[in-house]
A = this chain, B = another copy of it.
Amino acid sequence: QKPVTVAEYLFTRLHQIGIRSVHGLPGDFNLVALDYIPKAGLKWVGSVNELNAAYAADGYARIKNISALVTTFGVGELSAINGIAGAFSEHVPIVHIVGCPSTISQRNGMLLHHTLGNGDFTVFYTMAEQIACNSARLTTPANIPDQIDHAIRQCYIRSRPVYLMLPTDMVEKKVEGARLEQAIDLTEPPNDPAREDYVVDVVLRYLHAARTPVVLVDACAVRHRVVDEVQALVEKAKLPVFVTPMGKGAVDEDSDAYGGVYAGTGSHPAVSQQVESSDLVLSVGALKSDFNTTGFSYRTSQLSMIEFHSTHCTVRYSEYPGVRMRGVLRKVTERLDVDKMVWKGEGKLPPRVVNKVEDNRDPGQEIKQAYFWPRIGEYLKERDIVVTETGTANFGIWETKFPRGVTGVNQILWGSIGWAVGAAQGAALAARDAGSKRRTVLFVGDGAFQLTVQELSTMIRLGLDITIFLLYNEGFTIERFIHGMDAGYNDIARWQYADIPRVFGATEKQARSFVIKTKDELERLLKDPSFCDGKGVQLVELWMPREDAPRALKITTEVAARTNALVEE
């Protein structure tokens, strides 16, 4: 009825679900498709390499709920694969579109560039499948709209990457455009009502009876978008609420209900005391990885645990597969009878979390981790986007109390260094695409920074507002704490970080650099209104002691070293 090209169909769908910028790199198998990006009202972001582009798409999706990445066959997609694997691991929805040789070339097994030279065009697909919740070869025009709609729906609902292989000869094939008038249904399928009601009843029974209930919010609460549901429950029931490191930012840390970061032995004593002595932990979206739990060190009892997941719930040892958390959380809040609750929140909420700046201020001028992170809490503003990298930053941030509305972005499970630089670019762009004027603040180690440094170029080119604290501590400090404190392999080259923005093309207006070696310099910087404005790219080379690490990191790395060394005799 209304013929449109495959490319138009695809990119229009991306626009409809809220994507405004598409990350990626050109390659001859995707060039023609790229022509259709502006036509669909989308902006093309040429990143500097595909891994950076994938990281940026990951950051974009964490702010705008979904994102898209376009790469070219073989060389492009495989460069991006670590970024996609990270998104899969961490439940981040990215639509990955790979421009590939025409179906004719594939059928003829042609010895094309970007192939393994063996006529096999399925190898990269087979790899990609393993880190995608849906993948499709778009080879038959009649099926393509269905394939695209299905993939996008899966991507969003399951909050994981999908993979679309788009041959050059399909890009301009005509498909039915009338379908575009109806948006893709992105609502989660409802739970079976009887099963859901059953779980709700069980939960309510425990919740009404609990004497010391707490809520613990983890990664998947954010990634599967139930933060509002959690918030409603916490407010109605006046429950104390804690976050895990991966859940940090999900809860208003300025609210009375907020109790701090819980991560087993890495938590502050008051926090672990309260969570571990609770007779009912409502755990939402848990992802209990080693670095999210200080090495599996929870001392909670399964008998006081109710877990809400995106695919199931568990109550103590009872499992309810297929009962997704969203519906349950909503009904629990709705049906909760506050008067029947044994727990009365009033006056019993946890001690207020504060940035312990003064407690950690030592007299010296060195900028120690213990001091820095609480101090940063005072610098942050409402609705900042805070990106932290694997390394000391990911552990230091536990000591930072976020102002209201701050979004925390980290990759604690996958932990690929360099990710945060790309992710910050994507997150800042997503914020701008959403029409907001949020600052993006990145904390990244000097080691990690080197892996993906050129993404600064994209930040500059796009004119994004990103402030980068580069933790300059002469190498891989987190690794030093695991093994090889003085080993050469944990050293890195000394770069002139402050000059980097200029080299990547920034004018004085587009980027500013700062070298901060003392506490006094840091104080001055953090009080400078023009710095705090956060306009453009600001790069702070922040000198920190080489063998200094946040409290929680020391505990975690000890456990990691022990786990690695464990030998069976």
A residues sitting closer than 8 Å to B (CB atoms) are 26-29, 31-32, 34-35, 44, 46, 48-49, 51, 74-75, 78-79, 81-82, 85-86, 88-90, 101-105, 110-117, 123, 126-127, 130-131, 168-169, 172-173, 287-291, 296, 390, 412-418, 450-454, 457-458, 460-461, 476, 479, 482-484, 487-496, 499-500, 502-505, 557, 560-561, 563-568
Contacts and interface: CB of A to CB of B under 8 A. Distances in A.
A504 B88 CA distance: 33
Contacts of A82: 74-75, 78-79, 81
Given A81-B78, A104-B566, A489-B31, A290 B451 contact: no
B289 A483 contact: no
B113 A49 contact: no
27 contacts: A26-B484, A26-B489, A29-B564, A31-B482, A31-B484, A31-B564, A34-B484, A46-B488, A51-B51, A78-B85, A79-B82, A85-B116, A89-B116, A102-B563, A102-B566, A104-B566, A105-B563, A105-B566, A110-B290, A111-B287, A111-B288, A112-B289, A112-B563, A457-B495, A458-B493, A495-B505, A496-B502
A479 to B, nearest CB: 6
A89 B115 contact: yes
A491 B130 CA distance: 33
A488 B89 contact: no
B479 A493 contact: no
A168 to B, nearest CB: 4
Contact of A483 (B32, B51, B112, B504): B32
Most buried by B among A104, A291, A492, A567: A567
Nearest to A448: B49
A484 to B, nearest CB: 6
A62 to B, nearest CB: 16
Most buried by B among A288, A461, A503, A505: A503
A129 to B, nearest CB: 10
Most buried by B among A102, A116, A291, A476: A116
A81 B211 CA distance: 53
Nearest to A80: B82
B81 A75 contact: no
Given A28-B560, A454-B454, A492-B46, A123 B115 contact: no
A490 B412 CA distance: 35
The list of the 3 closest CB pairs from A to B, nearest first, reads A78-B82, A75-B416, A31-B483
